[in-house]
Amino acid sequence: MIERNHLFASNKLDYVRGKRPDVPCILCAVRDRNPEVANLEVYRDQDFLISLNLYPYNPGHLMIVPLRHVEWPDELTDQEALHLHHLQKKCLKIIRQIYPAGGFNLGYNLGEIGGGSIAHLHMHIVPRYRNEHGFMATLAHTHIVVEDPHLMQEKFQKAFENTP
């Protein structure tokens, strides 16, 4: 018998049930700073924005989002792909400055079958911590992110301003 603990998070449940802002693309709305959409952006340049995840797996869970609406990594130009990799390195450096992450999960959930819920490319950078049991254990047991997302946003904005 598998025992599972459940944490009721009403805002995530509403999202899963489809109660979302009425916008064609949630990440384009974040890009456009639509006031109807929660925005936890911490960095922006000419090609990408970096945001905290509104429903993080762990403290410091970032997403790198191209400003241009694309759905698949192979739609990025070679220059955008290189720039994305540079931003990935910067995110890892900054997360390690702020949190005691011992590891990371990096990647995409592409297409509905691949677990994607947003048809706008975004790379997840999920810090992992020593007291965790691993990816499957995190999904199977109650996991609470205890830091206020707006406080995390302030920390990351300052770190991005001060990190070359």
For the chain, the 3-state helix, strand and coil shares in percent, each to the nearest 5, are: 35, 15, 50
Does 105 belong to an annotated binding site?
A: no
Burial of 122 (0-12, 13-18, 19+ CB in 10 A): buried
Cβ contact 50:160 at 8 Å: yes
Does 124 belong to an annotated binding site?
A: yes
Catalytic residue among 61, 83, 120, 122: 122
CB atoms within 10 A of CB 21: 12
Q: Is 122 a catalytic residue?
A: yes
**Catalytic machinery residues:** 122
Output the known binding site for substrate: 53, 124
